[in-house]
Structure 1
C-alpha cells in the first residue's frame, strides 16, 4: 500500500454507499469492518434519530466525534457517518489512524438514493435541504480526504475495487 496508514476511513454523503462499499472492501482486503453509526447506536443504546431528537444536532455531532476519537489503530475499514466532517478534531484523529477516502456522488445521483432523511438519522438542520447540506459538506469532504473516488452509477463492488486499486497504487 502506498499510504502511510493501512486502515481506511470512508467519508461522504449519506446514501453514497459507505457501509456497503466498506463491507466489500474489508472482505477484499482481509480487514475488519467498523460502521461508526452502528457503534454510536450500540454505545448510546439509541438509534441515530433518537439521539438527534434527544440531544439535538450539536449534541449528536459531539457524541459522534467522541466515538470517532476513541477509535484505535486496528487494521480496519471504517465507514463513518456523513456528518463526521463537522468536527475537525475527529477528522484529524481519523487522518492519523487511517487513509481517508471520500466516496463522491453528484447531487442528482444522491437524490435518487436518499429517502427518509429523518428516519435514517441524517444530521441536518430541520430548516435546511439536501441541496444545502450537499453544498455545505462537499468542500469539507474534499478538505479532509486523502483520496477521492468518483462513484457515479458504479455498483458497490466496482467502487470497492476502485478504492483497492487506488490504494495499491
Structure 2
C-alpha cells in the first residue's frame, strides 16, 4: 500500500515523505517534480503560461493517472482541488493530512509565487489556507497535527498510525 501526504506548501510533504520512505523501505515520489520533469517547465512557468486552471488540470491528470506501489507520494498542495486525483489517491494509498498552523506556514513558505503556489485571483494566503484545509480534512483518513513537533516526531506519529491501521 502507498502512503500519500497532503497539506499546504511547506507542511513537510517532501521532507517527511523522504524520511518516511526511508524508514519504511519505500520509494519516494514528489508529484511536483514529476510534473516538472514531464513538461520540462517549472511550476511557476506552467501557471504563468497555462493559468491556474490549466495547472490544476495538469496536476489532477497526473495524480489521477499514477500507477505506483510501495511508494510515499507527496503531491503539490493544490492536489485537493482535483476530485478525480484525490479519489484515485484514496484508492491506491493511505491519505495523511499534514496539518500545520497558519502562522507556521507563513514562516516557512517564503514567496508563494516563486514557489509556484496556485492562488486564486483575489485570494489571500489565509483564504487559501482555510479553503484547502477543509478539503484536506475531507480526503484524509488521518490528520497529523504538527504543532510543536520535530520532523522526527512527526514521522514517528505517522508510523504509529500506520502500524495501528494495518
Same fold at TM > 0.5: yes
Q: Bigger shift: 72-81 or 96-105?
A: 72-81
1:73, CA displacement in angstroms? 3.6
With normalisation by structure 2, the TM-score equals 0.96
Rounded to whole Å, the distance in 1 between the matches of 2:137 and 2:105 is: 17
Which stretch of the first structure deviates more once superposed, 124-133 or 46-55? Answer: 124-133
Deviations 1:65-121 (A, max 9, x none): 111112114110000100000011110000010000000011111111111100000
Bigger relative contact order (CA 8 A; separation at least 6): 1
Shift of 1:153: 2.8
Encode CA deviations 1:35-87: one digit per residue, 9 max, x unaligned: 00100000011000000000000000000011111211411000010000001
Give structure 1 regions of 4+ aligned residues with deviation exceeding 2 angstroms.
none
**Contact residue 109 and residue 153 of structure 1 kept, 8 A:** no
What residue ranges of structure 1 are gaps of 5+ in the alignment? 1-5
Q: Equivalent of 1:94, from 61, 64, 89?
A: 89
Identify the residue that residue 3 of structure 1 maps to in structure 2. Answer: none
Aligned partner of 2:79 among 69, 84, 92: 84
Aligned to 1:66: 61
Paired with 1:157 and 1:116, the residues of 2 have a C-alpha distance of 26
Match of 1:49 among 23, 44, 63: 44
SS at match of 1:117: coil
Are 2:23 and 1:21 aligned? no
Corresponding residue to 1:124 among 96, 119, 122: 119
SS class of match (2:28): strand
User: Would you say 1:105 and 2:100 are equivalent positions?
Assistant: yes
Please provide the CA RMSD for this pair: 0.9
Q: Please list every run of 5 or more consecutive structure 2 residues that lacks an aligned counterpart in the other structure.
A: none
* Counterparts of 1:40 and 1:53, CA distance in 2: 15
- The answer to whether the aligner puts 1:146 opposite 2:137 as a matched pair is no
Count of aligned pairs: 164
